Amino acid sequence: MLPNTGKLAGCTVFITGASRGIGKAIALKAAKDGANIVIAAKTAQAHPKLAGTIYSAAEEIKAAGGKALPCVVDVRDEQQISSAVEKAVEKFGGIDILVNNASAISLTNTLETPTKKVDLMMNINTRGTYLTSKACIPYLKKSKIAHILNLSPPLNLNPLWFKQHCAYTIAKYGMSMCVLGMAEEFKGEIAVNALWPKTAIYTAAMDMLGGSGIESQCRKVDIIADAAYCIFKKPKSFTGNFIIDENILKEEGIKNFDVYAITPGHPLLPDFFLDEQPVIVTKESATHELKEEEAQPPPKPRSGAVEGTFRIVKDSLSDDIVKATQAVYQFELSGEDGGTWFLDLKSKGGNVGYGEPSDRADVVMSMSTDDFVKMFSGKLKPTIAFMSGRLKIKGNMGLAIKLEKLMNQMNARL
């Protein structure tokens, strides 16, 4: 973990989405220096599924050694942004750092993304970041520190990152384009940078998205907080950068990254928008296995392998698995022994079979028969298959990720 230096003592940090998760972690790191934190977030009353409000975050910030100003802010509302900025300046005398953290996500393809979701992502991610920056810039110009930090990815134009969730990618890249433009526009006055994690970060939102068990494949929010702290210590001339958390911490001399893992030694999920091979962020044994797999030509699909896999899956089903999953999966498999198959985890006891399910599928997965067998036997992670384009998914992404846990339970038998 990166030690605090006290450099942010007395500085005012305006953070959107700071009531929980990454935003709150950055707030608490700065608070340990004695910083003033403006908690600009929507949650004033406790959410039934997501812990934390602007007021509970304020108490934690004060306990950590900082001062707090909780403000109800929906970044889609320009008036709420302006009001929070005015209150911050009135209470603390200015704004030194802005963190654009508020974000919305829907990992759905074009036809599966309702207009309401498109508008939500565009208005929170891109427009919200732009308007909050615009409101803070006059005060940031007067600061000796003067940083804007957007939690957004490098502008990677590989089509892979567009084809499965085009609207989300556009909305996140809008945040990154604000970095590109504003860094140049305010060069010498304000440092404007982007920060993105190398691996998945465990938050309540990730729990909802990935389902139970996803945390073992994630790092703690602390790694983003430490990376952000490194950036805040840089001069204004450090601007226009798209920073990966692990890289900047390595530059600071951090060598042990197990301290950031939820489950030290467990393979980690690579984050979106990074083309680096997943083997880089997996444990040594997983790396060896993947490299061996890449070095060999892909084997021909075994005759009856898919049918055999489904037979084992059927034998493994139980009412408990059905109750915990509640989803119908359809598989469109290419190659020998392929065709349309289904896995029904809604009906009592569950069922599998050849052809389309009797009820409409919640998730449709398209892949080769060989990759299907590898996925269910644990030789190919579904997330890695999806991110590399070998697996196409239509429907409920949360339920798709849920299937990975079921696969892990079956690996020993396949």
Per-residue pLDDT tens digits for 290-299: 333 333 333 3
Regarding whether 182 and 36 lie in a shared domain, the answer is yes
Which of 3-7, 22-26, 297-301, 309-313 has the lowest average pLDDT? Answer: 297-301
Regarding whether 315 and 256 lie in a shared domain, the answer is no
CATH of the domain at 355: 3.30.1050.10
Regarding whether 224 and 100 lie in a shared domain, the answer is yes
Least Cα distance to 175 among 241, 140, 129, 134 occurs for 129
Least Cα distance to 212 among 14, 413, 409 occurs for 409
Q: Is the dihedral of CA 277, 158, 375, 262 positive or negative?
A: positive
Residue span of the structural domain in which 83 resides: 12-260
Give domain status of residue 343, yes or no.
Answer: yes
Regarding whether 95 and 228 lie in a shared domain, the answer is yes
pTM assigned to the model? 0.71
- In sequence order, the β-bridge partners of residue 37 are 13, 68
Predicted pLDDT at 295: 37
Least Cα distance to 387 among 268, 240, 289, 286 occurs for 268
Domain end: 260, 278, 296, which one?
260
Q: In angstroms, rounded to a whole number, what is the distance separating the alpha carbons of residues 15 and 37? A: 7
Regarding whether 162 and 18 lie in a shared domain, the answer is yes
Give domain status of residue 391, yes or no.
Answer: yes
177-207 per-position pLDDT tens digit: 999 999 999 999 999 999 999 999 998 777 6
Q: Is the pLDDT of residue 286 over 70?
A: no
CATH of the domain at 24: 3.40.50.720
Regarding whether 64 and 144 lie in a shared domain, the answer is yes
Give domain status of residue 286, yes or no.
Answer: no
Regarding whether 95 and 40 lie in a shared domain, the answer is yes
When divided into structural domains, the chain yields a total of 2
Q: Cβ distance 36 to 11 under 8 Å?
A: yes
Quick one: pLDDT band at residue 279, thresholds 50, 70, 90? very low
Give domain status of residue 35, yes or no.
Answer: yes
Catalytic residue IDs: 168
Predicted pLDDT at 289: 31
350-400 per-position pLDDT tens digit: 999 999 998 899 889 999 988 888 888 777 777 777 766 778 888 877 777
**CA angle at 287 for the pair 286 and 293, rounded to the nearest 5°:** 90
Regarding whether 241 and 99 lie in a shared domain, the answer is yes
Regarding whether 345 and 235 lie in a shared domain, the answer is no
CA-to-CA dists, residue 23 to 9, 188, 224, 272, 364, angstroms: 18, 26, 9, 19, 34
Give the single-character DSSP code of 304: T
Domain end: 207, 235, 260, which one?
260
